[in-house]
Structure 1
Amino acid sequence: MHFWPFFTQASTFQFPSIFSNTPHPTLQLRVLSFNIRYATSSPFTNEKPWPERFPLVLNQLQHETRFLDASIICLQEVLHNQLIDLLNGLNGLPPSSDESQAPADGPIWAHVGEGRDDGDTKGEYSPVIYPVNIFRLLHHETIWLSPTPDRPSKGWDAGSTRILTVAVLEYKSSGQRVLASATHLDNEGPESRKNSVIVILETLKRVEKDWATDNLLPIFLAGDFNSFPDQEAYLGMARSDYMYDLHEYTKPKRRYGEQLTYTGFDSDKDKDEQGRIDFIWLGPKDGVCSPPKSDNSSTAVTNVPKNCPWIVDGYAVLPNVFEDGVYLSDHRCVVGDLRLRCCSIA
């Protein structure tokens, strides 16, 4: 008799589910990661100078972003004059021979990022380029991958100074935030690559904590790791239980294009160095979702785990040479098609 009220109430109680059957609007996002090869004065065999490669690189970036306004471009090995050329091109302005010119931030595209040698314009950038009509910039910083990450410095056994570019962006339409980041790990020092991953993870976790809303900030990291999937840098990130390789979270039938992301400029000579070394990583931790069971994408998603902001729709590796034999770069552009749930579940 004394327990009957309890069971009466319990009979109407439902345990909370980790899934929701209520549709939630999503925000599309395309992420591009491309090592464009710096504008060298001593090109390799089959490597054309930057003025010849530039229009091809620009055309590919424009083609991949033309019909999806919410696209973020992450580049590596970008010298100041190359950044000026690309931003001018993306913004519909003519190229400039004035290397002292500031990059054209707007009216369509803007960037964050600094030259790695001096924190200004010297050395290679790893810029994050975003459309100003879609995103509002809330925060950005450059981190040096070294024991002194707050200032220009070379770390451990690295052959070159290396950086991480971080940007917290907010969709103007919804207020949804995303942490975008780009990097280029060292090609010579395995100890540097291993420790750089530690610095990157510490930085992303700190920025996530500072800028998360509803205790969650979706994160992506794009870049050239100079590491195959069985080597130290990749394994350090994959085993972090914090970031996930987009390639591995994309169903095979939703992958397009090539497997290798680094080709070199001579496919026969560089065969031993070819491999998948350019990656897009998603986080944090349990925030990555498998693609919907149906192949029909929609703007509303059901049956999605509550802690999952990311919906993975596709992955591609684009060609870097066509019939004319001119290589855009010694790397191929990696593309991720994603969706973000823009509303939290009550």
Structure 2
Amino acid sequence: MRSTPELPIRVLTHNIRYATTSPFKGERPWAERRQLLLNELGYHARHCKETFICLQEVLHQQLEDIRAGLNPTTGSSTQEYAYIGVGRDDGHQAGEYSPIFYRPSVWDLLHWETVWLSETPSKPSKSWDAASTRIVTIGVFTHRTTGDTVLAMNTHLDDQGSRSRLEAARIIRAKIQEYQHGQYGGFISGTFLTGDLNSQEDQEAYSDLIGSGDLRDTFKLLDASRRYGNIITATGFGYEEESPSRIDYVLLATKGNQTWRVDGYSVMPNRFDDAVFNSDHRAVVADLTLVG
């Protein structure tokens, strides 16, 4: 049961670019980008203990690097951060993860699962016109102090298949409905979906998720005069033929007992004076509040 009227939560989503062995022109190897990403995550999560860090394109070694970086050796037997998620190719460690990092001292993990965005969602697979296997990572978290329960979802949709993106959006909406009316539905206080949808506002996945009325875009829930930073989220490394675009989102459920307020929205830089892109995407940070 809620013990306080409001609960501030920060949600960060970032496609960190997988650790390729064949970098694009303008792209630095993961070994040179790693600390820049860790500094970013630490900075944005430092002062809000309720932060969820949602990442895409994370290979297993990158996952281990990030987990180690978020959990510096302090002599304590407990780690500050844990994560949920699996490699999409085999359900274990192979292929890209879409992990959600959180602080176990703040959030009690009640349940989590990985769903494959295909016609066989319970096992590693791809369907329709998808070029790659795609997943959504789902977690149910209860705040240890207030008792608020959050349904957190993180995904990365296909970059090639238009139909697969549309079908994936439908699967995700169905999972939201399943959770809202299932075992945890009676006490889910808020639901968010993060990720790289590979879909702009006029394209299939975004149009389905938002047009259905099931979800709303935090970018649009805050007046433009109060947003901070950039609008574009996918920049490339400076030499790609594709135009930069806004395809990375923090979306909020709007039905049932979902009670979010958006207090802040920002798209952060991915390159500074050192001229090194920490990724070909920029991080999106949403400051949210669960209200009574």
TM-score by length of 2: 0.94
5+ residue gaps, structure 1, are 1-23, 95-104, 288-306
For residues 85 and 156 of structure 1, what CA distance do their matches in structure 2 show? 34
Residue of structure 2 in register with 1:310 after alignment:
260
- What is the aligned partner in structure 1 of residue 210 from structure 2? 238
Q: Could you tell me how far 1:217 is from its partner in structure 2?
A: 3.8
One of 10, 17, 40 as aligned partner of 1:60: 40
1:89 aligns with 2:83: no
Aligned-pair CA distance for 1:31: 0.1
Deviation (angstroms), 1:209: 1.8
Q: Which residue of 2 aligns with 1:226?
A: 198
- Do 1:76 and 1:184's aligned partners in 2 also have CA atoms closer than 8 Å? yes
2:5 is paired with a residue whose SS is strand
Q: Does 1:110 align with 2:82?
A: yes
Q: 1:127 to 1:308 in 2, by over 3 A?
A: closer
Tell me what 2:135 maps to. Answer: 163
Deviation of residue 132 (structure 1)? 1.0
Answer with 205-214 or 309-318: which moved more: 205-214
Q: Sort the Cα spacing of 1:162 and 1:172 in 2 relative to 1 into closer, same or farther, 3 A.
A: same
Does the aligned pair in 1 maintain the 2:157–2:198 contact within 8 Å? Answer: yes
The within-5 A match list for 1:181-220 is 181-212=153-184, 214=186, 216-220=188-192
Shift of 1:25: 1.7
Alpha-carbon deviation of 1:242?
A: 0.7
12, 16, 21: which one pairs with 1:41?
21
1:320 and 2:270 equivalent?
A: yes
Question: 1:4-31 CA distances to partner (integer Å, 9 max, x unpaired)?
Answer: xxxxxxxxxxxxxxxxxxxx62111000
- 1:195 aligned counterpart, secondary structure: helix
Matched AA of 1:82 = Q
TM-fit CA distance, 1:46 = 1.1
- 2:257 pairs with 1:282: no
| TM-score, length basis structure 1 | 0.80
Displacement of 1:207? 1.7
Task: State the structure with more CA Rg.
Answer: 1
Trace 1:13-28 onto structure 2 (pairs within 5 A): 25-28=5-8
1:176 matched residue in structure 2: 148
Query: How far does residue 156 in structure 1 lie from its aligned partner after superposition?
Result: 0.8
| 1:320 counterpart letter in structure 2 | N
Percent identical: 46
Q: Which deviations, in whole Å up to 9, do the C-alpha atoms of 1:200-257 show, x marking residues without a partner?
A: 1111211222244546541000000001111111101111111111101111122100
Counterparts of 1:90 and 1:308, CA distance in 2: 30
Structure 1 contact 142–164 (Cα < 8 Å) conserved: yes
Contact 1:257 1:316 in 2 (8 A): yes
Corresponding residue for 1:270? 240
CA distance in 1, matches of 2:15, 2:187: 33
Q: For residues 212 and 127 of structure 1, what CA distance do their matches in structure 2 show? A: 21
- SS of 2:115's partner is strand
User: Residues 106-125 of structure 1: CA distance to partner in whole angstroms, max 9, x if unpaired?
Assistant: 51000000000000000000
1:81-135 deviation digits (Å, cap 9, x = unpaired): 00000011001149xxxxxxxxxx9510000000000000000000011011110
SS of the residue corresponding to residue 131 of structure 2 reads coil
For the aligned residue pairs, the C-alpha RMSD in angstroms reads 1.7
Say if 1:211 and 1:217, in contact at 8 Å, map to a contact too: no
In the other structure, the counterpart of 1:294 is none
> Residue 98 of structure 2 aligns with which residue?
126
The answer to whether the 8 A contact 2:56-2:99 is kept is yes
Query: Hey, what's the Cα distance between the residues in 2 that align with 1:236 and 1:308?
Result: 19
| Count of aligned positions | 287
Task: Tell me, yes or no, if the aligned pair for 1:71 and 1:130 is still in contact at 8 Å.
Answer: yes
Q: How far apart, in 2, do the equivalents of 1:106 and 1:319 lie?
A: 32
Instruction: Write the distance in 1 (CA, Å) between the matches of 2:184 and 2:90.
Output: 30
1:323-342 equivalences in 2 (<5 Å): 323-341=273-291
